[in-house]
Amino acid sequence: MPTIRDVAKAAQVSTATVSAVVNGSAYVSPELKARVMAAISALDYAPSSAARSLKRGRTQLIALAVADLANPFFNRVVCAAEAAVRAWGYSLVIFNSDEKPEAEKRIVERVRALSCDGMILVPVGDPASYARLQRDGRRLPTLLFGRLVEDDALDSVTIDNHSAGRQATNYLLDLGHRRIGSITGPLHLTTAKERLAGMMEAMRARGAEPSPSHLRSGEFREDAAYSAARQMLGGGDRPSALYVANGLMALGAMRALADLNLRCPEDISIASTDTIPGIGALRPRLTRTEHPVADMVNEAIRLLVDRIERSRALPPRNVVFQPSLVVGESCAPATQHQLRNVG
């Protein structure tokens, strides 16, 4: 591996000059520049990023720690982040906390050890563990994505989950449904909690109150939703509509419906928040609120890079995006029969 010294020797200049040519950091006369360039390509020289990082104190690495790499939502996040990060001249290091707080702790250690320039974190559990992140947020600029941790002093980009729950539920209410059930994620996550809260608010605003047995929460996964839906819909006292808190879970719920010989939307209407790629092929198409994932990620990266390169000391910035309702065919007006069942 040729070093900057080899290049300098070959071009008969100093290493400082080579550095200046490589980085364009100072004026170098045309002839010297040409000699240096020639030497560089002759030797196939490439600067050592390790040495460069050591000297500059920058690695040009941004870490992205998502909560569940198997979840299509986070795949979209990864995809968008890769592009955004590249556009800013960084590279993306991926971590999967798999919804496990201990794993997250190890990831933070690792990110720190790698001395990444910044980190996008989808926080998993345990607000107390972020105290430390906040303390040395200066050292390792960190942005919370998608989920919030109460009382934090970190940058964040989130979606208005309350509004997502409200919008989806209002749509169902507008169709005449009153017995609406919900399958949501773990309630210690703001995403799950707030979507549920939004739903409850919407219902109460219309004087409806969901039956406790119609409210389930579980892992943000297809199989969790499947079994929740089977339980809830298997009995006699079933809701006429379902609000499901995530795309993967919506698929699970639909699978449960199919297995129970229930039709969607004739027997049960389903609305959800969030989607998954390729879901367009699924009939009926899901009525759902969608996250502007790409915009959210772009904004997150922009904020983080700004924090890294400019404003270490500024107060934290918290950006909230709005979900939008996408209407499919998975919801039908409540039938007389369904309404009669109202407890």
Partner DNA sequence: CGAACACAGTTAAACGTTCTGCCAGGATCG
Partner DNA sequence: CGATCCTGGCAGAACGTTTAACTGTGTTCG
For residues 45 and 243, which CB has a smaller minimum distance to DNA in the complex? 45
Considering only residues 61 to 80 of the shown chain, the ones binding DNA according to CB under 7 A are: none
Candidate ranges 4-12, 121-129, 233-241, 245-253; the one touching its own copies (CB under 8 A): 245-253
Q: Contacting its own copies (CB under 8 A), which of 1, 27, 29, 310? A: 1
Helix (H, G, I), strand (E, B) or coil at 18: helix
Tell me which stretch binds DNA (CB under 7 A): 49-57, 174-182, 271-279, 319-327: 49-57
Q: How far apart are CA 292 and CA 336, in angstroms?
A: 37
- CA distance linking residue 111 with residue 37, whole number of Å: 35
- Using rule CB under 8 A, residue 91 touches its own copies: yes
Does 94 bind its own copies (CB under 8 A)? Our answer is yes
Determine if 251 is a binding residue for its own copies (CB under 8 A).
Answer: yes
- For residues 114 to 133, the per-residue mask of contacts with its own copies, x marking binding by CB under 8 A and - elsewhere, is xx------------------
From 42, 51, 131, 258, residue interacting with DNA (rule: CB under 7 A): 51
Q: Which is nearer to DNA, 31 or 151 (CB)?
A: 31
How far is 132 from 194, CA to CA, in rounded Å?
25
Question: Which candidate, 44, 33, 93, places its Cα nearest to that of 65?
Answer: 93
Q: Determine, following the binding rule CB under 7 A, whether residue 136 of this chain makes contact with DNA.
A: no
Which of its own copies, DNA, none interacts with 95 (beta carbon under 5 to 8 A by kind)? its own copies
Around Cβ 252, how many Cβ atoms within 10 Å?
24
With CB under 5 to 8 Å by kind, the binding choice for 14 among DNA, its own copies, none is DNA
Q: Residue from 159, 276, 297, 305 that binds its own copies (CB under 8 A)?
A: 276
Query: Residue 50 or residue 281: which is nearer to DNA going by CB?
Result: 50
Per-residue CA distances from 16 to 20, 34, 120 (Å)? 6, 15, 36
Tally of CA atoms within 13 A in the half-sphere of 313 that contains its CB: 0
* Residue numbers 167-226 binding its own copies by CB under 8 A: 222
CB 78 within 8 A of CB 69: yes
Q: Is 328 in the site for its own copies (CB under 8 A)?
A: no
Q: Is 59 in the site for DNA (CB under 7 A)?
A: no
Question: Residue 312 carries which side chain, given as an amino acid letter?
Answer: R
Assess 37 for contact with DNA (CB under 7 A): no
Q: How far apart are CA 311 and CA 188, in angstroms?
A: 32
Among residues 249, 252, 238, 247, which one has the least CA distance to residue 210?
A: 238
Please give the backbone phi and psi of residue 24, each rounded to the nearest 5 degrees, phi first: 60, 30
Residues 104, 237: Cα–Cα separation, whole Å: 40
Q: Which of 179, 187, 281, 282 is nearest to 239 (CA)?
A: 179
User: Binding of its own copies at residue 37 (CB under 8 A)?
Assistant: no
Nearer to DNA, 31 or 150 (CB): 31
Min CB(166)–its own copies separation in Å: 26
Q: How far is it, in rounded angstroms, from Cα 81 to Cα 93? A: 10
Pick the closer one to DNA by CB: 32 or 140.
32
Binder of DNA out of 42, 56, 106, 280 (CB under 7 A): 56
Token pair of 49 as six digits = 């990023």
59, 242, 258 from 337: Cα distances, Å: 64, 17, 20
To DNA, the closest distance from the beta carbon of 42 in angstroms equals 15
Residues 10/44, Cβ–Cβ less than 8 Å:
no
Report the half-sphere exposure of 232 (CA within 13 A, side-chain side): 33
Give the interface with its own copies as residue ranges (CB under 8 A). Answer: 1, 46-51, 53-54, 57, 59-61, 69-70, 72, 75-76, 78-79, 82-83, 86, 91-96, 110, 112-115, 139, 222, 247-248, 251-252, 254-255, 258, 276-283
Give the interface with DNA as residue ranges (CB under 7 A). Answer: 1, 3-5, 12-17, 19-20, 22-23, 25-29, 31-32, 45-48, 50-52, 54-56
